Amino acid sequence: MQRDKKLKTLAKTIETLLGRHPDAHGLLPDAHGWVKITSLLQVFSEDPELPSIHEADLMDISRSITAAPIQVEDKKIRATARSFDPSLQPVTKLPKLLHLYIRSKAWSHVSQKGLCSSTNAPILFTQDKELALRMGKRKDSNPIHIEIHVFRALASGVIFYAAGTHLFVADAIPAEAISGPPVSPQTKQPGKKITTPAVHALSAPASILLHSEGENKSPGQSKNMKESWKHNKKRLRKQRPPFLF
């Protein structure tokens, strides 16, 4: 009895979330109202005000409750009664900035090439930075925050669509309309030895004329060495650059 009551309460909560305000939680149902079960479970897990649920609970609701307010089918779920309109409407009244969190590995590419949506996963923007972060963490534990400069995007021919009252969609965003953190330099490839340019010092007379103590010297060589040293020393003074470290 207690279990049935709990399931009915949970079913009503899900119906309200999916049927009326899915956009407030960063969800965009398809044209028939379906969303992925995994996406719904993520929403419930990240919001402390929502009850804890499992996929088994959803299956129990659809099987045990007569005229259940939700339908479960092929790893997807929807509300039976839906007032939310999932169709996208072109909109021109927009905020100056829209927020999005993307995978950290994708930022380098996005900063150069911009954003482009796909048929399977449309890009969703929002004016609410906290909601954008919640959505971003569903794909990456440490996502990158980027801002969409709406006026720049509009000037480039981008058309924005409203998805409910909290979400916006666009087919593509050019790189010049996107700002984010500095792109970290790519890590150097392992095994690649980095060498500093060799500094060629001026030839010192000692490297040419000095001999080891055990080296034999011919008679008169010492005098010639002294004369040669004096000559080279004067020459080097003239050639030496003013700053030599």
Q: Are 98 and 171 within one domain?
A: yes
Quote the number of domains for the chain: 2
The answer to whether residue 201 is domain-embedded is no
Confidence of residue 50 (pLDDT cuts 50, 70, 90): confident
104 in Cβ contact with 40 (< 8 Å) = no
Residue in the block written with tokens 């590995």: 105
Reported as a pLDDT band with limits 50, 70 and 90, residue 234 is low
User: Residue 30's domain spans which residues?
Assistant: 2-79
| CA 24 – CA 18 distance, rounded (Å) | 10
Q: Helix %, strand %, coil % for the chain, to 5?
A: 40, 15, 45
Give the end of a domain, one of 118, 145, 179: 179
In a domain, 84, yes or no: no
Q: pLDDT (tens digit, 9 = 90+) per residue, 107-143?
A: 999 999 999 987 667 889 999 999 999 999 999 999 9
Together in a domain, 108 and 166: yes
Report the CATH number at residue 8: 1.10.10.970
SS (H, E, C) 184-229: CCCCCCCCCCCCCCCCCCCCCHHHHHCCCCCCCCCCCHHHHHHHHH
CA distance readout (Å), 168 to 52, 129, 171, 190: 28, 13, 11, 42
pTM of the entire predicted model: 0.71
Q: Does 22 share its domain with 96?
A: no
Positive or negative, the CA dihedral 114, 119, 125, 129 is negative
**Pair of tokens at residue 26:** 């960063």
Residue 208: pLDDT band with limits 50, 70, 90: very low
For residue range 162-183, list pLDDT tens digits in order.
Answer: 999 999 999 999 999 999 999 9
Residues 19 and 47 both lie in one domain: yes
**Distance between CA 115 and CA 150 in Å, rounded?**
14
